[in-house]
């Protein structure tokens, strides 16, 4: 299946470019080329920004009820096209189809929550004294820019577009050049529900497109999800041009296993956390930190359960582990495994040459991999790898494991596995991370709670995604002081 040359969607029109460079996109399950994605030329990025600027003049004054009605229509269309949307993610990102369906479900839930924007956008008013009132009102910001990573096309669309436009802004959205298909379908939906032209504009490509957005004085805020190094470019570029920015970035999440953990529960959660979406989640558990009393048991059970993980094509229902996004990503996994071995770790389970179905021989696969006896000074314990490669580490006790967890440069998420209220309480109080859990493999927050980390996992404005936080990011607040004397 080849989807041809993809188009941008600018000012309510599908736009193809004769003068653009195109990048080839491959299905990571098979290595087959599936489409070509443009690097939107700078003048067309500027056209998208101008369209959004023009549309903002009217859209900001569209009544709240009407704006939210579009979100209800969007939500209904997402439900109707659920399977088609999930399949698009299973093709270009090769997220396993069950996971892709779950992601689209989550995007629907986020959109449903965004339908409550009228309540979340209320300001407040109070009497300062007898004849003076103070009030805080929320207003839209203007044109916003958004940049998506490859690994969550539906989730990130949900974080940014419904909230941005529901709050009265217009948006220029850049899909990931590695997984662009989902957003093509979303723009078809906006066309179907007759969203006014210019309110949502889609551009594609990579670095030069981002630069054109950062350089634009018209864009007032940049919302970004992706790796930490690129996030730094976005935060710094935004600051230089006076934009607010929200940067949800990389991660390295730890699952601590205490001596009293329910081992069956841990193993079930570990498999999902480490190998779900091929370890390419910002909430993936990529380190297992076991206390020494149970280290050997944890290691043995991890190896046994990981060997049972079925690997293959992301669209085959009975598979659990699909490919990673690219050959570069396979190479990165291999690089970190080799380096860890040189640094003194052991390979408890080697996923470097997995057995694959014939049709997937040219895909980008890494099997479940467990690198054991990893110590805090090794690169594999520190850097984000973003693949199905887990580091197993031994600590004397929960205190030491927690200290390691808190020393990470990243702070997106992590969990403790324990049946002890004391350990759980300690972890909830002391873990320095944005999203934490007890006996939960992927403690990603629900659509109405703030989603985001801390330290190198979240920077810029420090405002998180979803719910009230999203409304805070996509609005500005104005404090007013009002007095009337009454006529003399
Ligand atoms: P990435 O940083 O490579 O790309 C993100 C976006 O930036 C893309 O749209 C890409 O086109 C653009 N980009 C890439 N290189 C650029 C450059 N040099 N200059 C300007 N723009 C550039 O990230 P990715 O590989 O697509 O996504 C995976 C990363 O995203 C991981 O680090 C993961 O942890 C992170 N992530 C974080 C969260 C979170 O909530 N914190 C959620 C999902 C993904």
Render 131-196 in DSSP notation, one character per residue: SEEEEEEEEE-SEEEEE--SS-HHHHHHHHHHHHHHTT-EEEEE--TTS-HHHHHHHHHHHHTTPP
Predicted pLDDT at 445: 96
C-beta 149 within 6 A of ligand 1: yes
Give the residue-averaged pLDDT of 284-304.
Answer: 98
Q: How confident is the model at residue 488 (pLDDT cuts 50, 70, 90)?
A: confident
Burial of residue 269, with CB atoms counted within 10 A of its CB: 0-12 exposed, 13-18 middle, 19 or more buried: buried
Q: Are 179 and 93 in contact (CB under 8 A)?
A: yes
C-beta 386 within 6 A of ligand 1: yes
Q: What percent of the chain has pLDDT over 90?
A: 97
Mutational test site, ligand 1, from 146, 151, 226, 286, max ligand atoms within 8 Å of CB: 226
Q: Which CATH architecture has domain 253-438?
A: 3-Layer(aba) Sandwich (3.40)
Q: In the predicted model, is pLDDT for residue 1 greater than 90?
A: no
Give the residue-averaged pLDDT of 181-187.
Answer: 98
Over the stretch 318-364, which tens digit does the pLDDT of each residue have?
Answer: 999 999 999 999 999 999 999 999 999 999 999 999 999 999 999 99
Looking at the chain, the domain(s) classified CATH 3.40.309.10 span 253-438
Give the residue-averaged pLDDT of 279-297.
Answer: 98
DSSP for 210-244? HHHHHH-SSEEEEEEES-HHHHHHHHHHHHHTT-E
Looking at the chain, the domain(s) classified CATH 3.40.605.10 span 8-249+457-481
Q: Does 282 participate in catalysis according to the annotation?
A: yes
Over the stretch 145-165, which tens digit does the pLDDT of each residue have?
Answer: 999 999 999 999 999 999 999
State the closest ligand 1 atom to the C-alpha of 325, by its place in the atom list counted from 1: 25
Give the residue-averaged pLDDT of 76-88.
Answer: 98
C-beta 250 within 6 A of ligand 1: yes
Q: In the predicted model, is pLDDT for residue 123 greater than 90?
A: no
Over the stretch 2-33, which tens digit does the pLDDT of each residue have?
Answer: 999 999 999 999 999 998 999 999 999 999 99
Q: How confident is the model at residue 219 (pLDDT cuts 50, 70, 90)?
A: very high
Cα–ligand 1 centroid distance for 77 (angstroms): 27
Q: Mean pLDDT score of the chain, rounded to an integer?
A: 97
Give the residue-averaged pLDDT of 366-385.
Answer: 98
Q: In the predicted model, is pLDDT for residue 65 greater than 90?
A: yes
Nearest CA to ligand 1 atom 26: 149
C-beta 282 within 6 A of ligand 1: yes
Cα–ligand 1 centroid distance for 176 (angstroms): 8
Write phi, then psi, for 184 (nearest 5 degrees): -65, -40
Q: In the predicted model, is pLDDT for residue 463 greater than 90?
A: yes
Q: What percent of the chain has pLDDT over 70?
A: 100
Give the residue-averaged pLDDT of 415-443.
Answer: 98
Give the residue-averaged pLDDT of 401-427.
Answer: 98
Q: How confident is the model at residue 487 (pLDDT cuts 50, 70, 90)?
A: confident
Nearest CA to ligand 1 atom 34: 250
Q: In the predicted model, is pLDDT for residue 190 greater than 90?
A: yes
Cα–ligand 1 centroid distance for 231 (angstroms): 7
Q: In the predicted model, is pLDDT for residue 310 greater than 90?
A: yes
C-beta 207 within 6 A of ligand 1: yes
Q: Which among 35, 115, 167, 282 is annotated as catalytic? A: 282
State the closest ligand 1 atom to the C-alpha of 386, by its place in the atom list counted from 1: 31
Burial of residue 10, with CB atoms counted within 10 A of its CB: 0-12 exposed, 13-18 middle, 19 or more buried: buried
Mutational test site, ligand 1, from 156, 178, 227, max ligand atoms within 8 Å of CB: 227
Give the residue-averaged pLDDT of 53-70.
Answer: 98
Cα–ligand 1 centroid distance for 317 (angstroms): 28
Distance CA 150, CA 162 (A): 19
Distance CA 141, CA 138 (A): 9
CB atoms within 10 A of CB 370: 23
Q: In the predicted model, is pLDDT for residue 486 greater than 90?
A: no
Q: How confident is the model at residue 230 (pLDDT cuts 50, 70, 90)?
A: very high
DSSP for 475-487? EEEEEEEEE----
Cα–ligand 1 centroid distance for 55 (angstroms): 28
Cα–ligand 1 centroid distance for 149 (angstroms): 4
Q: Which CATH architecture has domain 8-249+457-481?
A: 3-Layer(aba) Sandwich (3.40)
Distance CA 442, CA 269 (A): 8
């Amino acid at each position: 299946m080849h989807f041809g040359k993809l188009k941008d969607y600018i000012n309510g029109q599908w736009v193809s470019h004769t003068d653009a460079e195109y990048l080839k996109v491959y299905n990571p399950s098979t290595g087959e080329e599936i489409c070509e994605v443009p690097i939107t030329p700078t003048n067309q990025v500027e056209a998208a920004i101008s369209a959004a600027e023009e549309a903002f003049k009217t859209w900001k004054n569209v009544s709240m009820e009407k704006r939210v009605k579009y979100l209800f229509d969007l939500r209904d269309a997402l439900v109707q096209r659920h399977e088609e949307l999930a399949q698009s993610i299973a093709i270009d990102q090769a997220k396993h189809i069950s996971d892709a369906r779950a992601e689209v479900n989550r995007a629907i839930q986020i959109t449903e929550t965004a339908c409550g924007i009228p309540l979340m956008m209320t300001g407040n008013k109070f009497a300062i004294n007898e004849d003076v009132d103070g009030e805080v009102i929320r207003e839209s910001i203007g044109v916003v820019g958004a940049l998506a990573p490859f690994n969550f096309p539906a989730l990130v669309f949900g974080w940014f577009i419904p909230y941005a436009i529901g709050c009265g802004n217009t948006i220029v959205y850049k899909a990931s050049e590695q997984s662009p298909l989902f957003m093509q379908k979303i723009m078809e939906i906006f066309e179907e529900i007759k969203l006014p032209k210019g309110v949502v504009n889609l551009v594609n490509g990579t670095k030069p497109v981002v630069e054109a957005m950062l350089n634009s004085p018209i864009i007032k805020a940049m919302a970004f999800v992706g790796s930490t190094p690129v996030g730094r470019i976005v935060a710094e570029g935004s600051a230089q041009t006076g934009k607010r920015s929200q940067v949800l970035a990389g991660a390295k999440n730890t699952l601590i296993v205490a001596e009293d953990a329910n081992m069956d529960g841990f193993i079930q959660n570990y498999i999902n956390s480490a190998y779900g979406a091929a370890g390419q989640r910002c909430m993936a558990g990529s380190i297992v930190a076991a206390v020494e009393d149970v280290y050997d048991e944890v290691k043995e059970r991890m190896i046994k359960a990981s060997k049972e993980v079925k690997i293959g094509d992301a669209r085959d229902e009975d598979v659990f582990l699909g490919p990673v996004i690219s050959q570069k990503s396979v190479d990165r996994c291999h690089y970190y495994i080799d380096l860890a071995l040189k640094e003194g770790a052991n390979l408890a389970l080697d996923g470097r040459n997995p057995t694959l179905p014939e049709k997937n021989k040219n895909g980008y696969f890494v099997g479940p991999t467990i690198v054991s006896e990893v110590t805090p000074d090794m690169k594999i314990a520190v850097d984000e790898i973003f693949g199905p490669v887990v580091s197993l580490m031994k600590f004397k006790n929960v205190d030491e494991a927690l200290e390691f967890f808190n020393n990470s440069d990243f702070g997106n998420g992590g969990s403790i596995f324990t049946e002890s209220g004391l350990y759980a309480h300690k972890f909830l109080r002391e873990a320095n991370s944005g999203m934490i859990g007890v006996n939960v493999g992927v403690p990603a927050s629900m659509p109405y709670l703030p989603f985001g980390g801390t330290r190198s996992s979240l920077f810029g404005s420090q405002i998180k995604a979803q719910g009230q936080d999203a409304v805070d990011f996509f609005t500005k607040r104005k404090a007013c002081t009002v007095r009337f004397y009454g006529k003399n």
